[in-house]
Amino acid sequence: MIASSLLSRTLLSRLPAFEPGSVWLAGAGPGDPGLLTLLAAKALGEADAIVHDALVGGDILEAANPDALLVDMGKRAGHPSPKQEAINARLVELAREGRRVLRLKGGDPFVFGRGGEECLALAEAEIPFRVVPGVTAGIGGLAYAGIPVTHRGFGTTATFVTGHDKTGGLPADLDWDVLARMPGALVFYMALGTIGTIAERLEAAGKPPMTPVAIVSSASTEAQSVIETNLAHCARDVVRLQAKRPAIVVVGEVVRLRALIGAWQQTTGQNPFPTAVSA
């Protein structure tokens, strides 16, 4: 305990100051508060204003400075959501008020989190900022489900793909022939609404119909659930088994490793071994 306390003080003393009038863009990870970085935890405790998205859980926000202004700027599928321009403007406004502003996002701010857009807006407004990377769901969330995103025996690549663009549909510039030939895992973010089209296009491009697929919902939280299926049946199973958002979809042979890894893996929470529902 003493050694742990000394280590904590040593690490915390080396962290940078959170200056008034600046913005920290931080990733909160996929859900488990234990996956917060030291910098993100520091920012939560010191921020005067916290602009958070819908994927940041209440148990993480409970660690916030009790005097901080909490601003919910979450985007939710099927519901009216704030425009990115409004979020950018709010960050600039709060910083110009002299606040220490934490922009807190689920996962990592630079992995389909629009963090780059917000950095550009802050730079144009001459607002100083810091980027605090987080654990992205396509790596950490899959790990909590017992799925390694890479493995020497099942492909040496991992490809991250957004499941929808600004219109809500799949991006028009995706090269499905290239994706279908990738030897490793294909990891799709925000793809529940387009999973049927994804499967159709991968199969049309030559991906075998029996390629394993896993859908991990609410990764790394008490509500985590996993559906194991395949490319031919994934669209049906998402509906039949009522997959919930937020979810990460992985296509590839690494899914087969879950049977053994998940059986012995320790995770946090009261339900350490989330039940998989196989197709």
**Bridge partners, residue 187, by sequence:** 160, 250
Cα 141 from Cα 120, distance rounded (Å): 28
Locate all alpha helices (DSSP H) within the chain, ordered by sequence.
Answer: 2-13, 38-46, 58-61, 84-96, 115-124, 142-144, 176-181, 195-204, 234-240, 258-264
Q: How are strands ordered across the β-sheet holding 23-27?
A: 69-72, 49-52, 101-105, 23-27, 129-132
Rg (the chain; Cα; Å) = 20
Question: Residue 22 in contact with residue 16, Cβ under 8 Å?
Answer: no
Catalytic residue numbers, as ranges? 53, 75, 190
Q: Which DSSP letter does residue 161 get?
A: E
SS3 content of the chain, % helix, strand, coil (to 5): 35, 20, 45
